[in-house]
């Protein structure tokens, strides 16, 4: 089991093509991120730069992507070298200890906060993100949902993954995500359970004045391509939660 993405960087990049990532994850994030004309944006835990590039495409003048994994940053830089967007910069770094002070209009993070092992680490993450923002700046994030009912033991295999929690639902319990590829191979990702209240407390303590939890939305194309029934389980019992905060 690993939270070190170096060995699974390519596998993870391939898994970004799963339909739910396009028709729910990316679609919902696009709704939450307005046009960024000329603004500055930070992508924490940027991975291979999937959303870093998207933030640039949405009009941000300058985007910095930060990730702990050197291999992920290498993949992000390789894509920038192949198809340069300009205005995009990638750095290896820890999202708990960001070197920015009031620099960004928008901070973004996809699957970063769920790497906090406990409330102390979550606080460090939220503090670092809040500190990086200008006053009035926004933080948009998607993570494993703290509201997911693991006891119900639902299968998400039809979407290309399964989730289970080790040792019961409690602070810091490891959540194992088994991600299946189209060829039937799979890899596992481990992150950690922290409940909704722990998140709320951390956001407030970091200085965010507004905290909004947003429901996943399905793109019209996704509904048309797969049918509403296919998406019902995901939309009724989402495994991911979107959060929007204002500093």
| Chain residues that interact with ligand SAM, rule: CB under 6 A | 5, 16, 45-47, 50-51, 66-69, 72, 94-96, 110-112, 115
Entry field: residues in the chain: 247
CB 13 to ligand SAM: min, Å: 8
Measured between alpha carbons, how far is 118 from 141 in angstroms, rounded to an integer? 18
CB 121 to ligand SAM: min, Å: 8
Minimum CB distance to ligand SAM smaller for 55 or for 68: 68
**3-state SS, residue 17:** coil
Measured between alpha carbons, how far is 140 from 163 in angstroms, rounded to an integer? 23
Minimum CB distance to ligand SAM smaller for 20 or for 224: 20
**Alpha-carbon dihedral angle through residues 187, 191, 197, 201, given to the nearest 10 degrees:** -130
Q: Measuring CA to CA, which residue among 224, 223, 217, 219 is closest to residue 238? A: 217
CB 229 to ligand SAM: min, Å: 27
Residue nearest to ligand SAM as judged by C-beta position: 47
Q: Measuring CA to CA, which residue among 244, 180, 233 is closest to residue 210? A: 244
Q: Measuring CA to CA, which residue among 142, 188, 150, 184 is closest to residue 167? A: 150
Minimum CB distance to ligand SAM smaller for 120 or for 135: 120
Measured between alpha carbons, how far is 235 from 15 in angstroms, rounded to an integer? 20
Work out the angle at residue 76's Cα, subtended by the Cα atoms of residues 124 and 29, and round it to the nearest 5 degrees: 60
Minimum CB distance to ligand SAM smaller for 38 or for 171: 171
Measured between alpha carbons, how far is 64 from 107 in angstroms, rounded to an integer? 10
Q: Which are the contacts of 84, defined by CB distance < 8 A and separation ≥ 6?
A: none
CB 227 to ligand SAM: min, Å: 26
Minimum CB distance to ligand SAM smaller for 97 or for 227: 97
CB 70 to ligand SAM: min, Å: 9
CB 45 to ligand SAM: min, Å: 3
Minimum CB distance to ligand SAM smaller for 228 or for 244: 244
């Amino acid at each position: 089991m690993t939270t070190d993405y170096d060995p699974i960087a390519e596998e993870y990049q391939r898994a970004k093509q799963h339909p739910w990532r396009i028709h729910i994850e990316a679609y919902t994030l696009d709704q939450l991120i307005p046009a960024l004309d000329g603004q500055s944006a930070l992508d924490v835990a940027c991975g291979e730069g999937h959303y870093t590039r998207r933030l640039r495409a949405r009009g941000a003048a300058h985007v910095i992507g930060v990730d702990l994994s050197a291999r992920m940053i290498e993949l992000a830089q390789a894509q920038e070298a192949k198809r340069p967007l300009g205005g995009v910069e990638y750095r290896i770094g820890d999202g708990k200890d960001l070197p920015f002070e009031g620099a960004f209009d928008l901070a973004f993070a996809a699957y970063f906060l769920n790497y906090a092992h406990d409330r102390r680490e979550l606080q460090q993450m939220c503090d670092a993100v809040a500190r990086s923002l200008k006053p009035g700046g926004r933080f948009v994030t998607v993570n494993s949902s703290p509201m997911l009912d693991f006891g119900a033991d639902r299968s998400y295999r039809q979407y290309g993954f399964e989730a289970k929690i080790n040792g019961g639902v409690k602070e810091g319990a490891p959540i194992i995500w088994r991600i299946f590829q189209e060829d039937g191979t799979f890899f596992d990702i481990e992150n950690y359970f922290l409940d909704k209240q722990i998140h709320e407390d951390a956001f407030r303590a970091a200085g965010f004045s507004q905290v909004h939890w947003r429901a996943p939305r399905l793109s019209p194309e996704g509904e048309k391509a797969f049918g509403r029934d296919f998406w019902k389980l995901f939309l009724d019992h989402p495994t991911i939660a979107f959060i929007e905060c204002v500093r």
